[in-house]
Amino acid sequence: MSDINLLLVDDEKPFVETMTKRLEKRNYKVRSVFSGQEAIKVLGEDPQIEVVILDVKMPGMDGIDTLKEIRLKFPLVEAIMLTGHATVESAIQGMKLGAYDYLMKPCDMNELIAKVDQAATKKRAHEEKIVEARMRRITGERI
Amino acid sequence: MEELNHKPRSPYYRALLRRMVTVIIVVSFTPMILITWGLLYQFKTLYHEKVYAHLGEIVQKHRQNIDTFLEERLADVRFLATNFTFEQLADEAFLKQKLLALEAEHGSVFTDLGVIDEKGHQLAYAGPFKLEKANYESAEWFRKAILSQYYISDVFLGLRGSPHFIIAVRSETETMSFLLRATINFEAFNSLVENLRIGETGFAFILNRDGKFQTKPSIQITEEQARGYLKEYLLLKDKSHIAEEPDVSGKPVIHVSSLLKNGEWLMIFQQNASDVFHDFIRARLIALLISIVGGGAIIVTAYVISKRMVKIIAKTDDENRMMNQQVIETGKLASIGELAAGIAHEINNPVAIMVEEAGWIEDLLEEEEFKESKNLEELKRALTQINTQGKRCKGITHKLLSFARKTDSKIHNVEINTLIKEIVSISIQMAKYSNINIETELQEGLPYVEISPAEMQQVLLNLFNNAIYAMEKTGGTIKIGTKLSQLEKDTIVIIVEDNGPGIPESNLPRIFDPFFTTKPVGKGTGLGLSICYGIVQKMGGKIDVQSAVDVGTRFRIWIPFQKEGVQEPEDIKNV
């Protein structure tokens, strides 16, 4: 699956840059930011984004806070958490808050792609259901 | 740790011991001495009073007896003198008859009777001695007797040469006056006084105003001594007098004196004080003995109790010192753990970037322009190597991070088998150096338990470390297994088993005691297993040990689980 709109959030610039290049090479549309605040901003500007890859440990607004904000403002966007081992607990907390899944750094590219695809599929299925529901309501009203 | 035994501080404990012993002894002895002394003093006063009263009474009674005796004898003689005429009395046959009558009445009290005229010539005599016609003109008693109505003499030897005394009554006819004289048997009189014997040394005697004995003292005392008593005349009126004075040999003597015969004679009773107060002295001796024995017992008890307490205090101090050491050690470990976690986390990010970059290069190599490069294969191999080593780094940091979680005592749902695998992976390296295999036998699908993983880790690591230490020289096998308990409901058993040298039976009951260790001084704190025990107890579980020398040791840990938690919780299935 390609043409998925991704947002990559991590404070480690070299990591973000390389990851972006590798994902773009695999035909994903990737936007990258280096903090939680920026991520919220970008999500507001760009409704195309379907999946957010979110580092848990960031200075300032960390992954969990960012996730809470995303779930609040953009409930349909799926999130995949990235974490070092020590923050597995916060990753689990993130999943409880509604993240799609989590991965431990350094992560395998194929694994990441698989998770991203699944998340995107889920998101799209969700959207379809919503559209369907709306349609039904509209048609129902008309009848 | 070797310096921690309390030898170097023993002067402190010796001083403590001394202080405790002193306080106990002073506190116990002061009331004991005061009470004993007070009671003895009271007792002594009362006893003295009682004894003096008793002696005074006895002496008074005897004095009365003697006075009565003298009065009665005098009455006898006066009866003869007043009721019979001079002519009758001067008849020796009549006189003899009267003497016989008196003897019949009083026994041998009267020795003889005589009638004496104004000039001292004995006119008639009845008695055992040949004293007819004796002349008493110059005798002292005669001169005194002729002047008064009646007269009782002191004891004297007289013409007959044996001690006696005389009762004389003066009677008158129309033309002349005469004396009727009776001699009192000395022995009969003496026995009145002699009978007064109390104890071993108590006796009585009678003195006249010149200090001459009027009775024969049953215990020899000198006239000199007797004369010493004469000063009592000055003190006495008609009551008795009691005094305690040392005698010539310095021993205290009690004497009671009383006047008799209208103040002419002095009766003295004397007794050694030691004899008088014999009972009191014995009581005092017993009290003293009891005090000494009791005091000895108090001293011994004070010493033993204090010694025991000081020992306990010293032991507690030692334990506290070791505990402090342990706390410091634990703190050190905790900070090392935090440091390791920090480092591991910091390394993780660069490694992630390196792996990403390598991945990027791999991606680029897919492009056409590199396809012809003759080093393509070599580059690919190098990249694979970078990836492999990156993963290895990841493994190391993850292990470090999981180990550092030891400081965390938060309770989580834990998959016990995963935890055990983690610990085995940590211990296996150390075990390999000692030629020890670690085998696992984990039952699949065990329910989750709610425990602190860090603490469980510590328990298992302690058991592993002990097993590895025990088999360091010989090598061997450690088996760790998990299963559902057959006996206990809702409980998982963890079994850690080795085939090392085992624990001697004598040590088995003590191995969970704090500070019990068989390791050389400074090598072990003796806290490992006691910490395990404490942790397992806190989890609501229990731990036991079975061991046989040269066969091996088996620890079993039972951990209860929540029944509702049998299903895998959804959110940590990938941990």
pLDDT exceeds 90 at position B153: no
Please report the pLDDT score of residue B538 as a whole number: 79
How far is residue B440's CA from residue B477's CA, in Å, rounded to a whole number?
A: 11
Least trusted range by pLDDT, from B10-14, B208-212, B252-256 = B208-212
Of A18, A85, A104, nearest to B357 by CB-CB distance is A18
Residue type, position B339, single letter: L
- How much is the average pLDDT of B47-51? 89
Q: At what angle do helices B453-470 and B528-538 cross, to 10 degrees?
A: 150
Q: What is the 3-state secondary structure (H, E, C) of B538-568?
A: HCCCEEEEEEECCCEEEEEEEEECCHHHHCC
Please report the pLDDT score of residue A116 as a whole number: 92
How far is residue B238's CA from residue B235's CA, in Å, rounded to a whole number?
A: 10
pLDDT exceeds 70 at position B346: yes
Please report the pLDDT score of residue B85 as a whole number: 85
Structure tokens at B299: 């001293």
Cβ neighbours for A71, distance < 8 A, ≥ 6 positions apart: A79, A97, A98
How far is residue B123's CA from residue B117's CA, in Å, rounded to a whole number?
A: 7
Of B352, B357, B363, nearest to A105 by CB-CB distance is B352
Q: Are B448 and B482 in contact (CB under 8 A)?
A: no
Please report the pLDDT score of residue A56 as a whole number: 86
| Cβ-Cβ contacts under 8 Å, B359 against chain A | 18, 22, 109
Strand B110-117, strand B150-152: pairing: unpaired
DSSP for B18-81 reads HHHHHHHHHHHHHHHHHHHHHHHHHHHHHHHHHHHHHHHHHHHHHHHHHHHHHHHHHHHHHHHH
pLDDT exceeds 60 at position B88: yes
Side-chain half-sphere of B160: how many Cα atoms within 13 Å? 18
How far is residue B268's CA from residue B491's CA, in Å, rounded to a whole number?
A: 103
Please report the pLDDT score of residue B402 as a whole number: 62
How far is residue B494's CA from residue B436's CA, in Å, rounded to a whole number?
A: 20
DSSP for B264-332 reads TEEEEEEEEHHHHTHHHHHHHHHHHHHHHHHHHHHHHHHHHHHHHHHHHHHHHHHHHHHHHHHHHHHHH
Long-range contact pairs involving B38-46 (C-beta distance under 8 Å, separation at least 24): B39/B287, B40/B284, B40/B287, B43/B280, B43/B283, B44/B280, B44/B284
pLDDT-derived band of residue B312, with 50, 70 and 90 as boundaries?
very high
How far is residue B96's CA from residue A45's CA, in Å, rounded to a whole number?
A: 173
Of B353, B397, B398, nearest to A18 by CB-CB distance is B353
Q: What is the 3-state secondary structure (H, E, C) of B80-131?
A: HHHHCCHHHHHCHHHHHHHHHHHHHHHCCCEEEEEEEECCCEEEEEECCCCC
| Cβ-Cβ contacts under 8 Å, A112 against chain B | none
Please report the pLDDT score of residue B390 as a whole number: 87
Provide, for chain B, the percentages of residues in helix, strand and coil under a 3-state DSSP scheme, each rounded to the nearest 5: 55, 20, 25
pLDDT exceeds 90 at position B9: no
Q: Are A79 and A108 in contact (CB under 8 A)?
A: no
| Cβ-Cβ contacts under 8 Å, B388 against chain A | none
Of A14, A84, A96, nearest to B571 by CB-CB distance is A96
Provide, for chain A, the percentages of residues in helix, strand and coil under a 3-state DSSP scheme, each rounded to the nearest 5: 55, 15, 25
Cβ B398–A104 below 8 Å, yes or no? yes
Diameter over CA atoms, chain A: 57
How far is residue B458's CA from residue B158's CA, in Å, rounded to a whole number?
A: 124
Cβ B355–A21 below 8 Å, yes or no? no
Residue from B466, B482, B461, B334 nearest B418 by CA: B482
Please report the pLDDT score of residue B567 as a whole number: 46
- How much is the average pLDDT of B516-540? 76
Among residues of chain B, what percentage have pLDDT more than 90?
A: 12
Measured in whole angstroms, how far is the alpha carbon of residue B454 from the centre of its chain?
53
For residue A93, the distance in angstroms to the closest alpha carbon of chain B comes to 9
Please report the pLDDT score of residue B3 as a whole number: 39
Please report the pLDDT score of residue B38 as a whole number: 92
Distance separating the N- and C-terminal Cα atoms of chain A: 38
Strand B449-451, strand B412-414: pairing: antiparallel
Q: Are B185 and B103 in contact (CB under 8 A)?
A: no
pLDDT exceeds 60 at position B258: yes
For residue B320, the distance in angstroms to the closest alpha carbon of chain A comes to 35
Least trusted range by pLDDT, from A60-64, A65-69, A131-135, B569-573 = B569-573
- How much is the average pLDDT of B336-356? 80
A interface residues, B as partner, C-beta within 8 Å: 12, 14-15, 18-19, 21-22, 25, 57, 84-86, 88, 92, 95-96, 102, 104-107, 109
pLDDT exceeds 60 at position B408: no
DSSP for B190-202 reads HHHHHT--BTTTB
- Give the residue, B316 or A86, on which the prediction is more confident: B316
pLDDT exceeds 50 at position B25: yes
How far is residue B356's CA from residue B90's CA, in Å, rounded to a whole number?
A: 172
For residue B355, the distance in angstroms to the closest alpha carbon of chain A comes to 7
- How much is the average pLDDT of A10-31? 91
pLDDT exceeds 70 at position A2: no
Query: In DSSP terms, which residues pair with B483 in a beta bridge?
Result: B493
B interface residues, A as partner, C-beta within 8 Å: 341, 344-345, 348-349, 351-357, 359-360, 363, 390-391, 394, 397-398, 401-402, 404-405, 571-572, 574-575
Q: Are A30 and A8 in contact (CB under 8 A)?
A: yes
- How much is the average pLDDT of B14-30? 91
Cβ B341–A86 below 8 Å, yes or no? yes
Choosing among B360, B368, B392, B570, which should be mutated to test the A contact, i.e. which has the most A CBs within 10 A? B360
How far is residue B246's CA from residue B468's CA, in Å, rounded to a whole number?
A: 91
CB pairs under 8 A between A and B: 66
Long-range contact pairs involving A14-21 (C-beta distance under 8 Å, separation at least 24): A14/B353, A14/B356, A14/B357, A15/B349, A15/B352, A15/B353, A15/B356, A18/B353, A18/B356, A18/B357, A18/B359, A18/B360, A19/A53, A19/B356, A21/B360, A21/B363
Domains and CATH numbers, chain B: 84-189 (3.30.450.20), 196-276 (3.30.450.20), 411-572 (3.30.565.10)
| Cβ-Cβ contacts under 8 Å, B394 against chain A | 104, 106
Query: In DSSP terms, which residues pair with A55 in a beta bridge?
Result: A82
Least trusted range by pLDDT, from A131-135, B223-227, B528-532 = B223-227
- Give the residue, B67 or B186, on which the prediction is more confident: B67
pLDDT exceeds 70 at position B104: yes
Any idea how long chain B is?
A: 575
| Cβ-Cβ contacts under 8 Å, B352 against chain A | 12, 15, 105-107
Choosing among A13, A18, A34, which should be mutated to test the B contact, i.e. which has the most B CBs within 10 A? A18
Q: Are B229 and B304 in contact (CB under 8 A)?
A: no
Residue from B135, B145, B138, B195 nearest B165 by CA: B145
Cβ neighbours for B387, distance < 8 A, ≥ 6 positions apart: B355, B358, B359
How far is residue B114's CA from residue B92's CA, in Å, rounded to a whole number?
A: 9
Please report the pLDDT score of residue B533 as a whole number: 84
Q: Map out the domains of chain A as residue ranges.
A: 5-142
Strand A29-33, strand A5-9: pairing: parallel
Cβ neighbours for B542, distance < 8 A, ≥ 6 positions apart: B536, B557, B558
Of B360, B391, B572, nearest to A22 by CB-CB distance is B360
Q: How far from B90 is each of A99, B96, B144, CA to CA, in Å?
A: 163, 11, 22
CATH of domain A5-142: 3.40.50.2300
In the three-class reduction of DSSP (H, G, I as helix; E, B as strand; rest coil), residue B439 is classed as strand
Structure tokens at A84: 């070092």
Cβ neighbours for A9, distance < 8 A, ≥ 6 positions apart: A32, A33, A34, A35, A36, A38, A39, A52, A53, A54, A55, A58, A63, A66
Measured in whole angstroms, how far is the alpha carbon of residue A29 from the centre of its chain?
13
Average pLDDT, chain B: 82
pLDDT-derived band of residue B239, with 50, 70 and 90 as boundaries?
low
Structure tokens at B501: 């040298």
Prediction pTM value: 0.46
Cβ B352–A18 below 8 Å, yes or no? no
Q: Are B159 and B127 in contact (CB under 8 A)?
A: no
Cβ A84–B351 below 8 Å, yes or no? no
Residue type, position B414, single letter: V
